[in-house]
Structure 1
Amino acid sequence: MSNPKFIPSTQLIVEGDIYNLRLSRYMRLQLEKEYNMNVQRYYSMMCVNGNVVDEYQFAAVVWALLRGGGQKVSKERACDIIEEAVNDEECGIVKLFESVLEALSAAFMNEEQFKEYKRLIEVYKSSEGENDTEKK
Structure 2
Amino acid sequence: MYPKKVANDTAKVLQSYLTYQAVRTIIEQLSETNPSLALWLSEYSSRNRVQDGEAYLQGLMQENKELMLRVLTVRAHLAESILELLPSMVMAQIEQSNTDHRRQLLERLTRTAEPTSPSPSSTSGEDSAPPESERRDVPD
Structure 2-normalised TM-score? 0.30
Higher CA-based Rg? 2
Q: Which structure shows the bigger proportion of residues in helix conformation? A: 2
Higher relative contact order (CA 8 A, sep 6+): 1
Q: Which structure shows the bigger proportion of residues in strand conformation? A: 1
Structure 1-normalised TM-score? 0.31
